[in-house]
Amino acid sequence: MPRSNGISAGSSPGREPRPNGLARPRWAAAATICLIAAVLGFLSALAPWWFLTTTTAGSSTMVGYLPGTAVEVVTNGGGGRTTYSGSGVPSVGALYGFVLAAELAVSVVALLLSAQAFASALGRWASPRILRTARAATIGALAIGVLLLVVVPTLQPTLYRTDNPAGACSSTHPVGPCEAFWGSGTTSGGATEWGAGSGWWLDLAVSALWGISLLLQRRRSPSP
């Protein structure tokens, strides 16, 4: 009669279980998704999260709020960068300093999770403890991504109003950015439009990828 010692066939003490046929493609898919999330996360850290475009007769000016310390200004004649303090919105700058740190941290986590998933597809780093850690890291990254998506549009108008650049929010009819993250308006002198920049939309895509990765992880498990 064969002995039962709690070790599955094909396994040996001290070695991680090999992934079964169904687990391999799921690990590979999760690895690819995390790698894409890392790339998009780094791009989100470099792209503007908010823009304000003002168009008047014969000219156009766009202001982009970047993660970190820079504000980008683009006009018909060229453009350049300044700081949030130089633009009169230091409180908003503190918010985007946090955005930069969070995006970079999550992108690094995505790279690590991608490496772990690729290794798991090859039968390594697939122990229950490692999988639990990877799942916890994925949940944390998803939570941070969603937090940024909500906090930035919620806090920025309040911080903009607090900074009150050039007294724009002190007038009887304050400009839209003092009141809302998205919007548009027209005056006798021209039109203004503002809202989420490409960085915010990239973070939305990254958060969606984290959700897909989390669903895949729920189905991944070592062979019994």
Q: What is the pLDDT of residues 22-44, one digit of tens each?
A: 467 888 888 999 999 999 999 99
Identify whether 106 is part of a domain.
yes
Domain residues for the domain of 43 are: 23-47+88-181+198-219
Q: Is 16 among the domain residues?
A: no
The two three-digit tokens of residue 120, written as one number: 């798991």
Local confidence band at 10 (pLDDT 50, 70, 90 cut-offs): very low
> Any idea which of 94-108, 131-145, 158-172, 208-222 has the lowest mean pLDDT?
208-222
- At 212, give phi and psi (nearest 5°): -65, -45
Is residue 193 in some structural domain?
no
The pLDDT value recorded for residue 13 is: 45
Q: Residue 175: inside a domain, yes or no? A: yes
Residue 137 is assigned to a structural domain of this protein: yes
The pLDDT assigned to 89 comes to 96
| Domain count within the chain | 1
What's the pLDDT score for residue 140? 95
Distance separating alpha carbons of residues 182 and 129, to the nearest angstrom: 44
Question: What pLDDT does residue 172 have?
Answer: 65
Rounded to the nearest integer, the mean pLDDT of the chain is 85
Q: Would residue 58 count as lying in a domain?
A: no
168 or 95: whose pLDDT is higher?
Answer: 95
More confident residue, 2 or 45: 45
Which is more confidently placed, 94 or 127? 94
Residue 17 maps to a domain: no
Which pLDDT score, from 0 to 100, does residue 173 have?
A: 67
What pTM was estimated for this model as a whole? 0.83
Quick check: is 64 in a domain?
Answer: no
Residue 219 banded pLDDT, cuts 50, 70, 90: low
Which stretch of 116-120, 161-165, 183-187, 203-207 has the lowest confidence by average pLDDT? 183-187
Distance CA 172, CA 65 (A): 26
Q: What is the pLDDT of residues 75-85, one digit of tens each?
A: 886 789 999 99
Residue 120 has pLDDT above 90, yes or no: no
